[in-house]
Structure 1
């Protein structure tokens, strides 16, 4: 009987502590940190693929204008931007004011080699 009362008191005190604003703040902060770590680990492979792509195309785009170089580095910085570029400028041959001609053809061929 004594154990049951002690156990019920412990459970009640735990509930009171966990429902406090400080505990809620602490648990929320821990959740954000943990989800940030998980997202970081999940995106490691994608970041490596993007970094390899940028290293591969870097010598070829070194002689371009600064704005063209910055544009290409920007579109190769995320998977979504690469997919957008490929959809509009590689698959449909839409006009791009920054990347055109052989540069566009080379960039499209390098993007096709990328596997996420």
Structure 2
């Protein structure tokens, strides 16, 4: 069996000369404002102007109830409170205690009550 050589692909001509080497050019020194920047546009990075509304998390109650398992709860507060409970009755008690702590927490209460009493 003789195999015929495949014809060249359409529009593809073989190259005989390698491409020319890249030419070295000198880069002009950068002086003044960067090119391509509109006039009046600041080029320095400015601080983020989104300041928020001043709210932040001070307390957190997490309750976990796994399927066919014992419920657990964690009560955390920024004032240093970090309590844990396991079991139905104790989780319910910790939930009520966490709610009561919101009214008594030193981070949430205003100090004007103390000034009025003094």
The structure with the largest strand share of the pair is 2
Task: With the length of structure 1 as denominator, give the TM-score of the two structures.
Answer: 0.25
Higher helix share: 1
